[in-house]
Copies of this chain bind each other. A is one copy, B any other.
Amino acid sequence: MLNVISTKEATQTVQNGIQLDSVGTQVVPLASCIGRKTASDIISGEFIPPFSRSTVDGFAVSASDTYGSSESIPAMLTLKGEILMGKKADTKINKGECIRISTGGMLPEGADSVVMLEYTQTDFDGLCLVFKAVGPFENVTKKGDDITPGKTVIQKGTILSSTHIGILASLGITGVECVKRPVVAVISTGDELIPITEKPTDGKIRNINSCMLSALLSENGCDVVDFGIIKDSKNLLEEALQKAAKQSDVVLISGGSSAGARDLTAEIINENGTLCFHGISMKPGKPTIFGNCFGKPVFGLPGHPTAAYFVSVRVVLPLLKKLGAVIRPNRTETAVLSCNLPSNHGREEIVCVKLENGKAIPVFGKSGIVSLLSESDGYVIIGRNCEGLKLGEAVTVNLF
């Protein structure tokens, strides 16, 4: 019999001794940094905008030249030409002068504001009539109005999205120091397993777990090294584990279904490191193993895909999060349970459900049913101190 611990204890044990908040950092090109976590504050080295710019189409003026002007008594200014887009404003304007400027154009020396086109008239040779006064810096974004050098524009630990790209691009930041994606090695064991590309003959089944775990890990900010299928042999598994530990930050061994195969993983961890626990009081997921071996955290996951999935979500992902992985946020929805769900006291139970019109309908299936996950919309957790949930009760559904 396994000496089981609670899911909470398991999660804590797994994270014990992890001091790092990442497995390292790396510079990621701007075009690839969506979804990545910043490893340090990003600090501006420049003024944004880099020069004072007009925010409208009109005429750059000295505000004081327009004071008192109105529809009936316009100010009369001498037009000095035009500031071309993308060009240095090298025409200085003096008192009583103005210059045509477009939205985004560089404000020339001597000007402190811009009169909008619609409040002006330039029909007179070399003259511009201004029918509305402007205040200093009206219709202007001053140099550094947005950002000055030394300002933290994005904080350490931010998960980058498209809304951060504008500010990075404006500062000319083409690479961002991000937290590395943890590398997870995935090993599937079992004499009954064949690659998914093969057609199963009697007694064989396809290696589902490597594909499923790789997908789950990729979805949650990790890189995967797939070690494929290892036969139920102590030597082969030990060899693969040693190699995997070298090439990764965390190793997942998804277990042979048979008791002997399961014990092999525990034995190897015990002989080459520390076996921390063997058994979690969680259904599905009981025969889970965890230890440190060859210098890396190693999990022995159940062979059943659904069990391997839920142990990964409940126990493995929190460790990977601590190691810097960007875990997908857990989305939940409250729904009304469509039937009674009895449960064993002292054991956490995970029940897959479908959602229909605000109802959570449990999806049951015999042990090892692989369609359970794909046919459900999410799952309900029955806590270990709970004896079950009742028909009509409002429950929190964790959405897939």
Contacts and interface: CB of A to CB of B under 8 A. Distances in A.
A368 interface: yes
Contact of A57 (B145, B258, B365, B371): B258
Given A55-B367, A204-B86, A206-B170, A211 B103 contact: no
Given A197-B174, A203-B106, A31 B232 contact: no
B190 A365 contact: no
A51 B203 contact: yes
Nearest to A203: B106
A180 interface: no
Contacts of A206: 169-170, 172
Contact of A169 (B169, B204, B207): B207
Interface in A345-399: 365-371, 373-374, 376
Given A57-B258, A166-B212, A212-B165, A106 B202 contact: yes
Q: By DSSP majority rule, is chain A's interface helix, strand, loop, or mixed?
A: loop
A212 B162 contact: yes
Contacts of A212: 162, 165-166, 169
A369 B309 contact: no
A84 interface: yes
- Integer count of this chain's copies in the complex: 2
A330 interface: no
A161 to B, nearest CB: 6
Given A153-B371, A257-B103, A303-B103, A205 B50 contact: yes
A23 interface: no
Contacts of A306: 166
Interface string A75-105: 0000000011111110000000000001111
B374 A167 contact: yes
26 contacts: A50-B200, A50-B204, A84-B203, A85-B191, A85-B256, A86-B193, A87-B203, A88-B202, A89-B202, A102-B260, A104-B368, A105-B203, A146-B366, A162-B212, A163-B309, A165-B212, A166-B208, A166-B373, A166-B374, A167-B373, A167-B374, A168-B211, A169-B206, A169-B211, A170-B205, A172-B196
